[in-house]
């Protein structure tokens, strides 16, 4: 079986969380594509978040996870990439609903606001929750149609 590919990206404020997540996901048999950052030296999150989002948009990776201090800027920039439905999730229920209802394909985390002990359970929930389809698919298809029309 082919290992699912997950793109990871962060800025300097999220690099520790990204590195911990990379190790965790490798141990869970995911293939990790690390888009940076690679140090805690100040850098600009769009450079790395866009790279990860584009890997999903181009279908080089199944999904992506982006991390910065609040997650807000990363969510904004990720959602500029055609085909990305990035969700900033601060708890397990949001992670579950972002997948089940919104078919999110990029998870955004705020390293400064997510307790370390919630990181792995939240990511596991996001990775393991299927899209529910039904009435939610109608809504997601409206997003896709708008995006197609305005791309």
- Catalytically active residues are 101
Residue appearing with tokens 């229920």: 93
Q: If DSSP states are collapsed to H, E and C, what string results for 15-72?
A: HHHHHHHHHHHHHCCCEEEECCCCCCCCCCHHHHHHHHHHHHHCCCCCEEEEEECCCH
């Amino acid at each position: 079986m082919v290992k699912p590919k997950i793109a990871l990206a962060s800025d300097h404020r999220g690099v520790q969380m990204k590195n911990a997540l990379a190790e965790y996901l490798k141990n869970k048999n995911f293939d990790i594509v690390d888009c940076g950052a690679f140090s805690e030296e100040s850098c600009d999150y769009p450079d790395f978040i866009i790279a990860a989002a584009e890997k999903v948009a181009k279908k080089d990776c199944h999904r992506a996870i982006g991390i910065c201090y609040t997650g807000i800027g990363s969510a904004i920039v990720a959602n500029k990439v055609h085909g990305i439905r990035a969700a900033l999730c601060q708890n397990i229920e949001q992670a579950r609903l972002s997948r089940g209802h919104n078919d999110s394909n990029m998870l955004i985390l705020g390293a400064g606001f997510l307790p370390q002990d919630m990181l792995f359970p939240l990511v596991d929930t996001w990775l393991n929750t299927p899209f529910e389809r039904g009435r939610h698919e109608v809504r997601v298809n409206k997003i896709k149609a708008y995006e197609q029309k305005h791309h």
